[in-house]
Structure 1
Amino acid sequence: MKRIIAPLLFGLIGAAILVSLGTWQMQRLEWKRGILSKIESTISGDPIALPQLISPSEQEYMPVRLTGQIGDQALFVLVSAKRVGAGWRVISPMTTVEGRRILLDRGFTPVENKTAPPRAEQITLLGNLHWPDDRNSSTPENDVAKNTWFARDIAQMAELLDTEPLLVIAREIAPPDPGLTLLPVDTAGIPNDHLQYAITWFSLAVVWLLMTGALIWRRSKED
């Protein structure tokens, strides 16, 4: 009996730790689902006018409706779209009827089509405010000279295009932007891997208990 007490305690304590980690991940899963639900509700909410005071933490994904003109300039951000492949996000300045000049993410064009159709007419759009976090430790620096951007660095883009440091991602544009496919904001790019982590921890707990049981059985046979 003494030979199995130590592995039994070790097995039970280890399994309890693994189960607690799995339970914590399940709690994180519910927390993340709540956040994603709130973001989706914000994205699809009733649009408002462009806010005068900017607060990224409070206004992220806020829907806005704007009327104005798109400028002739365009910046091209290298991205990859599902089922399409590499291409460019097209960022242009937009001057609203109220006289504000902001950054507008007009959508996607294939990588071989590094052009942005000029828009002389007035347009109306529905979009969402966004402060993207595109850059990480492996993201190259933007090649401004060649107009090849690897991250939507709002401050740098705003300075270059002489706009407010404010980006709107288009969801609807009327009349539509010819040659461009809209890439509206959504929650698809926000990771939610907590269920997989929970399954991993719970599976490890089962394996731990099976190994403990095997060890105890072997020791019992040695007596």
Structure 2
Amino acid sequence: MSKAGRRLIVPGLTTLLMLLVLIGLGTWQVERLQWKRGVLAQIAVAEAGAPAPLTDAPEPYTKVVVTGRLRTDLAALYGAEVRETLSGPEMGSELIVPLERDGKPPVLVDRGWVPSTRKAPLSQPDGVTTVVGYVRPAAEPGLFSAKDDPVARLFYTLDPAAIGRALGLPTVAPYTIVALGDTPPQRWPDPAKHLPRPPNNHLSYAITWYGLAAALVVIFILWARKTVRR
């Protein structure tokens, strides 16, 4: 092997390793793209259909209806979000309330957004109530998620099991029902108006990774030609 050829070995192997990583990341984004399209299609079907009775193992983001008694004495707050109100931008959270069901474990219901000040009275249904909403799967804490405060009943990760334990409920359904509906006369809590539409940026991410892989190959070829000619 020539001296110029030997100079290409280490850079060539390094480039090959980087190329495999970039192609792997691009392929992973393509797989995520197919998964996200399936989720969005499922959400679109659920949005157009009527709510179905809640089953023991509902599919995520399906529209359901469930009846029970809201334990407003065990209410908790989830997240932190600024929204525009009649008095201007306000910080607030989602109001999480357990719904007791006959013969089944309680299910957490996200009744909607409430401002942190909560100057207006909350809409608090008494007795047996029926909730129409969609199924939101449990979440895991992210790398940069704020730490939950169980004592204050303030949570930043929508983990039904963890929230249930903090509320003294050892067993709850492993998902949350996000209530759908119009804004009540009391204004709070303000429920969701439609099912979520998660962003789908995976195609652009895949193009970026594949583009970087192609650029890496071109750069290495140009560099290798220049090195061999020396």
The two structures have a TM-score, normalised by structure 2, of 0.68
Contact 1:169–1:185 (CA<8 Å) still a contact in 2? no
CA RMSD, Structure 1 to Structure 2 (Å) = 3.9
Aligned residues: 212
Contact 1:129–1:166 (CA<8 Å) still a contact in 2? no
Distance 1:48 1:197, change over 3 A: same
**Distance apart, 1:215 and its partner CA:** 2.6
The worse-fitting range, judged by mean Cα deviation, of 106-115 and 145-154 is: 106-115
* Structure 2: gaps of 5 or more residues: none
CA distance in 2, matches of 1:61, 1:216: 58
Contact 1:109–1:181 (CA<8 Å) still a contact in 2? no
Alignment-mate amino acid for residue 148 of structure 1: L
Aligned position for 1:209:
221
Aligned position for 1:49:
53
Aligned position for 1:173:
181
CA distance in 2, matches of 1:216, 1:195: 31
The two structures have a TM-score, normalised by structure 1, of 0.69
Q: Identify the structure with the greater strand proportion.
A: 2
The worse-fitting range, judged by mean Cα deviation, of 3-12 and 103-112 is: 3-12
Mapping of 1:158-197 within 5 angstroms? Answer: 158-159=164-165, 160=167, 162=169, 164-170=172-178, 172-173=180-181, 176=184, 178-179=187-188, 180=190, 182=192, 184-188=195-199, 192=202, 193-197=205-209
Distance 1:211 1:114, change over 3 A: farther
* Structure 1: gaps of 5 or more residues: none
**Distance apart, 1:113 and its partner CA:** 4.1
Contact 2:150–2:163 (CA<8 Å) still a contact in 1? no
Deviations 1:172-197 (A, max 9, x none): 22575823252854433x88444433
Aligned position for 2:138:
131
Deviations 1:151-178 (A, max 9, x none): 2231132241647334334262257582
CA distance in 1, matches of 2:30, 2:69: 43
Identity %, equivalent residues: 14
